[in-house]
A = this chain, B = another copy of it.
Amino acid sequence: MFFEGSEKKAQIIINVDKLSLLNDIDDIFWDALVNSCGAKVLSSMTNTNCKALLLSESSLFIWHNKLLIITCGTSQLVKAIEFFLDSYPIDIVQQISYQRKNEYFSHAQPSCFSQDVKTLRQYISGKAYRFGDLDSHHNYLFHQDNNFKANINDKSYEIVAYHISESASKMLTDPHLTALRIRSMFHIEELFPHFDFDDHVFHPFGYSLNGIHNGRFFTIHITPQAESSYISVSANFDLINLLPQLITTLAPKTIDILTSNELNFEKKILNKLPEQFICTSLVKESLSIGEEIVFSSYSQNAQHCSDAINLKMNNVVCSL
């Protein structure tokens, strides 16, 4: 069974003098926003700085001045941005960014990035970029082009592991798998002390976890199916030290890292990846809003010869 783990991500920053997203907006609105893009709210937790909603397709985080929504599968995240912009006056919005990873099966998506950008440009003007080559892992990024200035201390980190080992995939697709078992497999409690957690094991496969502590968040999404495995960890604090643990647990064939405002990326990444990983992509861009983006991708040397995949018709997803 195939599931598109690859995520889309939208961030909306607003003028907190005009509205607090956390205090002034009720859950009915967030439910409707999440529904608008084809996902559902499963559960939530809140502290005074941040609310974290676990979705049927990933996560939504809400701070006083900011929301971050991440969705996977065939959800159409751009519709959640439209929903927000149709609900609140545009002058409360300071900055919108929209990011989309290359999908395993772009065919099966209801829209492509250029259509999403066309939709967004009905509301705001902005710039669009691609980080990474078309025919390998890449990220599309669109951001509103206005006089907003990013705070260099607002950092973000994403690590994605693809093609995890057979044993990791087997463990993570075990029908008796529990959230507790996964938390312990990834040493969540030790690695993220003081955090509150909310997690969900999906049936037949998949796992999502949100963690918050004051204004800090991290989130893990697991699509464990061997043919299209995809494990992402995102946070607004440094995750680079987590790499060795992730590699030990998952033994992925490929790793992507995307950071925002991490100015020492290359220095920090040194010695964090075993020798057999080579960097196949390293792309940097200084956005006009003062945000520094780095995207890098690492592939493991194919040390063993593998068999071709024998395709049943349902192995190949195609929505045409």
Contacts and interface: CB of A to CB of B under 8 A. Distances in A.
A134 B113 contact: no
A320 B113 CA distance: 11
A254 B280 CA distance: 9
A137 interface: yes
Contact of A316 (B114, B254, B309): B114
Interface string A127-152: 11111011111001100000000000
Contacts of A280: 280, 299-302
A186 to B, nearest CB: 23
Say how many copies of this protein the assembly contains.
2
B305 A282 contact: yes
Given A129-B308, A283-B307, A310-B129, A135 B114 contact: no
Given A113-B318, A308-B141, A311-B129, A104 B284 contact: no
Nearest to A112: B318
A311 B130 contact: yes
**Chain A's interface: helix, strand, loop or mixed, by majority?**
mixed
Interface residues of A, number: 61
Contacts of A299: 136, 278, 280, 299
Nearest to A307: B285
Interface of A: 102, 104-107, 110-115, 117-118, 127-131, 133-137, 140-141, 162-163, 227-228, 253-254, 266, 278-285, 293, 295-296, 299-302, 304-311, 313, 315-318, 320
